[in-house]
Structure 1
Amino acid sequence: MITMNLPLVNWSNGVVMIAVFAGVCIALVGIVLSIMNTDKKKQE
């Protein structure tokens, strides 16, 4: 009966890792969009 008190999932670590991953993805999308907007070819 002691094993019923043990948590099966550590949610705090998973939530932190998902938040870090989401932050990195948002940062990468922002960098790509800024590069696309500033890298315009000269019209001849």
Structure 2
Amino acid sequence: YMHHRELWGANGVKISAPGLDNAVAGTPLIVANTEDEVNDAKAI
């Protein structure tokens, strides 16, 4: 696997996380590494 800090455009990326069964294809992906980032992402 290759880890990338940023991805732009229509890159093919495989992701793995809990709860992805409820995800909708084509929606934006938000990565949160801290509780503050989680709260900010929830506010969007």
TM range (shorter): under 0.3
TM-score, normalisation: structure 2: 0.25
Q: Whose radius of gyration is greater, 1 or 2?
A: 1
TM-score after normalising by structure 1: 0.25
Relative contact order (alpha carbons < 8 A, sep ≥ 6): 1 or 2 greater? 2
Q: Which has the higher helix share?
A: 1
